Amino acid sequence: MALPGAGVPGGSRVGMSDRERSCQGPSIEAGSGALNKLRARRLGIDTQYEAVVFMRKDCPICRSEGFAAHTRVKLTAGPRWIMATLYQVTSNLLDDGEAGLSDSAWHRLGLRDGDDIAVSHPPPLKSLSILRGKIYGKRLEPDGIADVVADIANGRYSDIHLSSFITACAAGELDTGEIAGLTQAMVKSGRTLVWERHSVFDKHCVGGLPGNRTTPIVVAIVAANGLTMPKTSSRAITSPAGTADTMETMAPVDLDLGQMRRVVEAEGGCCVWGGAVGLSPVDDKLIRIERALEVDSVGQMVASILSKKIAAGSNHVILDVPVGPTAKVRSRQDGEALAACLTQVGEAFGLESRVILTDGSAPVGQGIGPALEARDVLAVLQGTPEAPADLRERALVLAGAILEMAETAAPGAGFAAAAATLDSGAAWKKFKGICEAQGGLRDPQHAAKTRVFVADRDGTFEAIDNRRIARVAKLAGAPDAKSAGVFLHKKPGEDAQRGEPLFTVHAESPGELDYAMRYVEENPGIVTVEPRP
Amino acid sequence: MALPGAGVPGGSRVGMSDRERSCQGPSIEAGSGALNKLRARRLGIDTQYEAVVFMRKDCPICRSEGFAAHTRVKLTAGPRWIMATLYQVTSNLLDDGEAGLSDSAWHRLGLRDGDDIAVSHPPPLKSLSILRGKIYGKRLEPDGIADVVADIANGRYSDIHLSSFITACAAGELDTGEIAGLTQAMVKSGRTLVWERHSVFDKHCVGGLPGNRTTPIVVAIVAANGLTMPKTSSRAITSPAGTADTMETMAPVDLDLGQMRRVVEAEGGCCVWGGAVGLSPVDDKLIRIERALEVDSVGQMVASILSKKIAAGSNHVILDVPVGPTAKVRSRQDGEALAACLTQVGEAFGLESRVILTDGSAPVGQGIGPALEARDVLAVLQGTPEAPADLRERALVLAGAILEMAETAAPGAGFAAAAATLDSGAAWKKFKGICEAQGGLRDPQHAAKTRVFVADRDGTFEAIDNRRIARVAKLAGAPDAKSAGVFLHKKPGEDAQRGEPLFTVHAESPGELDYAMRYVEENPGIVTVEPRP
């Protein structure tokens, strides 16, 4: 095989910058630094968290280093380096001397077009011996687990390593000392907040129940009572809306850590997206693996929850655990075991926690989709007649528990105190203040296009297929199209008459509306109306 | 967001073939079949075993199905379907309505350019509950493990799932019943061979020692003694040569199962590449994960070895276990534990096995690279003066053990019997017969370009850096360039005089030779000559 000229070492050296020189020579890999350069090209490929590099199969680096497709390589650009998965190109997708990068690799290396990168064998993964120890039954000591978590934080663990770690921790059940060690290491992997006030409150919901958007309401009630609650939430991954998506239709949520701190200092609470603030970033990597395996070990769940709360500077946490046949926690017994572990490990960090087991059998509220769910939240805050009773009830239970924990309300009087804060308008006023502090209160948009789906006979609105109705909302454009989604006029168990609206599909474009409606027409079982006996 | 016209359902229906109709409609996913079509395009990307599909991020399927980057999707083309990893394209790499496929996805779906594929959510992975059971300490029953292995064989396990399975089996140590169940399931996942002769022999080497190419010699000696030995070997992954690469310089090795059977029926033995015959294909998938984790559990190693041998129809196996500080097996004790387990599980399949612990501290022979190693093999078979003594010795030990097992030689007389077969020329004659049956004996090529590296002083040839000398061979073009590599004129401990050759680099092109020599010049420590005291 002949070596293509431009790919020969030296061919990629045109236009060397100051940055480049710093990553040459023996620091990369003894003696091979100068041979391993390629010109970086951004391919515009989203691989999510995974850094991917595309190299020509006939490239001298692949040949000489013995790189096979799908191996892990080290990419170096200036002072930065990352680990990446290598795919090999056999077509003309890349020119000689070029390396194509995924968006994640590009951003993490801080590249500009035409920059050079060096490709080399990855350094040995020293924390693998700690992981192997756990596999073979050895207890995880704080130092060892800190090494593992640091390697995960630095992107040195592939899916194979991450999955092995999750599995080993689930198989060799973590004791409370190991959970505390894991929690501590996860907190240290990211940024942390420290507050001047002694008591800082937080809430967390285990397992996403559709429409369960209590967070903005709880934050408003708690902050209106003079307490501190620095809340971060996630965006949707596969659902039509996450709490951050919903909140974003009412106020900006992309705040950095400094901005978040200023909002909380001014208003006592916030409701921002967790992605930009960098609290316990390792947690997100582990959760993705746990989802794929459908493994939820108590130890990992506790470390996950506590690390985010401790990093946010919270020391009082209410945990909403929906229990139901299709929920994350299936029985009261499991819920109580989780509560016991959470309380015990939390105490090691001076964190007080209370677990509330709630009904996890059905969705909450009427809207599905960011703006539609936000309107449910606003209706509860404003006390309008159409406010969904179930959403209000759940928010008051959680807010009431926090008020009792803070001794702002007497034991057993928290729910009433929370209701009073809501009914007096104080919570709504506080919510407006928080939104203004986050960058300005917004009215959730209304969709340009709607289509009503009506009952085709008299009867009882029997059942709704949660998975499919969520899909209709996504087909209509949610969560990217903020005002898109589905509004449920009826909930299971209610009467419906022929011609009466059952649900309305909302979309921002006629195409998306058609797309969603076509799916509705092809799937007659999404809602069921049974004739009355 | 507006939907791009060509991506809208229907836009990809041009040129529907008979094949296409078979994968439309409810068979894909109730009601969404017609919406999920894209035009397949081969991107020329080698991702090895992993099937990858590239879709535009703004494609209606990604939007409506809620597909995020790096999720697993189901690809259907006609009657075939596979699981693939989705990456999302934000550049103009793909046109509207197109899906780009990796080579592995393309081949497994049997696509031609312009074919349509359907993309949908993957069906639930039912065997995950078996895997979770093992994680939480439940024993693997034969039915359960068969479900897991079938899902792995069908490509339904991602790296995350595979790694969890390997880890769970290592953590919850497999008992002999579980190992037998795993072995059985792995055999069933692929093809199998049945022989008319009662006794069928095999050998296996645990852990690749550089240059340890005993296989062609052992097969020739054993078959020359009238025994049956259907041997499959692997190609190099990261080394300069695998046994199949070496053998290929002397005869074709890409035989399918029927061709392999005919060679063995005619000559008693063969030496072919294992990749084309499809014996225990799940084994290869598991080995890749074990390598990444550096986890070698006895149970997995035994199931791996036995499944390949049983599928090949062997019932007598000699296992070469090199023991050394950098070998796979580090101590005699570990080697003996492996031997005990192998024997016990093998018995359940009527398989007799014997383990031979060998010296795993240094490379074997003089050549590094396919043709150069083949010349070592031929020298031993032909009994020429330059035949490496260490290679001859190891081959005779292994062949002798098989002759004793077969009762062709009395206990303790195997080595001598093997030596007699070799020295009489019978083994060389048999080897030529096997090569002819595989498609014709070839002379290993000689490299067009060579460069000698000489001692720069008088002294003792002290040490050789195995990893770096292997790298020189790869830089020179091995294993793709068959005649490329390194020939060692001296071995550690021998005297060297100033100007005497230490090693010669062989290459097929001047560019590759320069590339290898530049590396040699930049790395003065590859070989060390110490002045005599």
Measured N-to-C along each axis, helices A510-522 and A466-475 cross at an angle, to the nearest 10 degrees, of 150
Cα distance from B392 to chain A (closest Cα, Å)?
A: 29
Of B32, B90, B480, the CB nearest to A44: B90
Asked whether the beta carbons of B72 and B122 are under 8 A apart, the reply is yes
Asked whether the beta carbons of A255 and B83 are under 8 A apart, the reply is no
Q: Which of B83, B101, B120 is the last residue of a domain?
A: B120
> Which three-class secondary structure state does DSSP give residue A108?
helix
| Distance from chain centroid for Cα A485 | 20
Confidence check: pLDDT of A1 > 50: no
Q: Which two tokens stand for residue A20?
A: 């480049």
Q: Which of B65, B92, B120 is the last residue of a domain?
A: B120
Claim to verify: residue B406 and residue B518 sit in the same structural domain: no
Confidence check: pLDDT of B398 > 90: yes
Within a domain: residue A458? yes
Of B46, B64, B68, the CB nearest to A87: B46
Residue A11: the pLDDT is 28
Asked whether the beta carbons of A202 and A410 are under 8 A apart, the reply is no
A68 vs A73: CA distance, rounded Å: 10
Within a domain: residue B160? no
Mean pLDDT score of chain B, rounded to an integer? 87
Is the Cβ pair A167, B475 closer than 8 Å?
no
Asked whether the beta carbons of A331 and A323 are under 8 A apart, the reply is yes
Strand partners, A317: A202, A353
Sign of CA dihedral A293, A296, A299, A302: positive
Cα distance from A8 to chain B (closest Cα, Å)?
A: 8
Claim to verify: residue A259 and residue A328 sit in the same structural domain: yes
Which pLDDT band holds residue A32 (cuts at 50, 70, 90)?
Answer: very low
Claim to verify: residue B35 and residue B72 sit in the same structural domain: yes
Cα distance from A491 to chain B (closest Cα, Å)?
A: 24
Which pLDDT band holds residue A35 (cuts at 50, 70, 90)?
Answer: low
User: What are the backbone angles phi and psi of residue A368, rounded to the nearest 5°?
Assistant: -130, 115
Minimum CA–CA partner of B7 in chain A:
A511
Greater model confidence, B315 or B13? B315
Q: Which two tokens stand for residue A498?
A: 């022929």
Cα distance from A227 to chain B (closest Cα, Å)?
A: 37
Q: What is the CATH number of the domain that holds B496?
A: 3.90.1170.30
Claim to verify: residue A458 and residue A507 sit in the same structural domain: yes
A384 vs A378: CA distance, rounded Å: 9
Minimum CA–CA partner of B70 in chain A:
A47
Greater model confidence, A533 or A258? A258
Greater model confidence, A291 or B391? B391
Q: Which of A87, A120, A153 is the last residue of a domain?
A: A120
Q: Which of B151, B245, B296, B320 is catalytic?
A: B296
Within a domain: residue A170? no
Q: Which pLDDT tens digit goes with each residue over A138-154? A: 999 999 999 999 999 98
Sign of CA dihedral A502, A508, A513, A516: negative
Confidence check: pLDDT of A428 > 80: yes
Claim to verify: residue B390 and residue B353 sit in the same structural domain: yes
Pairing outcome for strands B485-488 and B501-507: antiparallel
Residue B215: the pLDDT is 96
Within a domain: residue A12? yes
On chain B, the residues whose CB falls within 8 A of the CB of A238 are 66, 68, 71
* H helix or E strand, kind and range, residue A301: helix A298-311
On chain A, the residues whose CB falls within 8 A of the CB of B68 are 48, 237-238
Within a domain: residue B327? yes
Claim to verify: residue B412 and residue B474 sit in the same structural domain: no
Is the Cβ pair B135, A167 closer than 8 Å?
yes
Which residues touch A152 (CB under 8 Å, ≥6 apart)? A162, A165, A189, A282, A285, A286
Reply yes or no on whether B320 is catalytic. no
Minimum CA–CA partner of A291 in chain B:
B160
Is the Cβ pair B47, A60 closer than 8 Å?
no
Which pLDDT band holds residue A373 (cuts at 50, 70, 90)?
Answer: very high
On chain B, the residues whose CB falls within 8 A of the CB of A158 are 159, 292
Greater model confidence, A125 or B15? A125
pTM, two decimal places: 0.81
On chain A, the residues whose CB falls within 8 A of the CB of B92 are 44
Q: What is the CATH number of the domain that holds A352?
A: 3.40.1030.10
Residue B326: the pLDDT is 63
Strand ranges (E), B176-313: 201-205, 229-233, 269-273
Q: For chain A, what percentages of helix, strand and coil (3-state, to nearest 5) are there?
A: 40, 20, 40
Minimum CA–CA partner of B66 in chain A:
A238
Residue A26: the pLDDT is 29
Claim to verify: residue A370 and residue A246 sit in the same structural domain: yes
Mean pLDDT value of segment A187-208: 88
Q: Which of A147, A245, A296, A376 is catalytic?
A: A296
Pairing outcome for strands A116-120 and A37-42: antiparallel
Is the Cβ pair B522, A93 closer than 8 Å?
no
Claim to verify: residue A469 and residue A320 sit in the same structural domain: no
Mean pLDDT value of segment A221-241: 90
Of A1, A237, A518, the CB nearest to B480: A1
Within a domain: residue B287? no
Q: Which two tokens stand for residue B157?
A: 């396990």
Asked whether the beta carbons of A439 and A251 are under 8 A apart, the reply is yes
Long-range CB contacts (< 8 A, 24+ apart) of B489-492? Answer: B489/B366, B490/B461, B491/B366, B491/B461, B491/B464, B492/B362, B492/B461, B492/B462, B492/B463, B492/B464
Cα distance from A117 to chain B (closest Cα, Å)?
A: 19
Which residues touch B445 (CB under 8 Å, ≥6 apart)? B249, B371, B482, B483
B380 vs B418: CA distance, rounded Å: 12
- Give me the total of CB pairs closer than 8 Å, taking one residue from chain A and one from chain B: 233
Claim to verify: residue A221 and residue A342 sit in the same structural domain: yes
Claim to verify: residue B310 and residue B422 sit in the same structural domain: yes
Structural domains in chain A (count): 3
Within a domain: residue A196? no
Claim to verify: residue B219 and residue B322 sit in the same structural domain: yes
Q: Which of B54, B63, B288 to mutate to test the interface with A (most CBs of A within 10 A)?
A: B63
Residue B237: the pLDDT is 67
| Distance from chain centroid for Cα B293 | 17
- What is the Cα Rg of chain A in Å? 26
Within a domain: residue A293? no
Which residues touch A433 (CB under 8 Å, ≥6 apart)? A266, A267
Which pLDDT band holds residue A4 (cuts at 50, 70, 90)?
Answer: very low
Helices (H), B154-231: 159-171, 176-188, 215-224
Is the Cβ pair B293, A511 closer than 8 Å?
no
Residue B27: the pLDDT is 31
B406 vs B390: CA distance, rounded Å: 25
Claim to verify: residue B460 and residue B418 sit in the same structural domain: no
Residue A38: the pLDDT is 94
Cα distance from A155 to chain B (closest Cα, Å)?
A: 15
Strand partners, A269: A229
> Closest Cα to residue A292, out of B30, B160, B360, B186?
B160
User: What are the backbone angles phi and psi of residue B226, rounded to the nearest 5°?
Assistant: 80, 10
Q: Which pLDDT tens digit goes with each residue over A454-505? A: 988 899 887 777 778 888 998 898 988 899 999 999 887 889 899 999 999 9
Name the DSSP class of B345. H
Q: Compute CA distances B50 → A70, A85, A253, B235, B410, whole Å.
A: 8, 12, 37, 19, 49
Mean pLDDT value of segment B341-351: 93
Asked whether the beta carbons of A380 and A217 are under 8 A apart, the reply is yes
Q: What is the CATH number of the domain that holds B49?
A: 2.40.40.20
Of B2, B30, B137, the CB nearest to A511: B2
Confidence check: pLDDT of B101 > 90: yes
Minimum CA–CA partner of B46 in chain A:
A88
On chain B, the residues whose CB falls within 8 A of the CB of A519 are 31-32, 35, 64
Neighbouring C-alpha atoms within 13 Å toward the C-beta of B386: 13
What residues make up the domain containing A491?
449-530
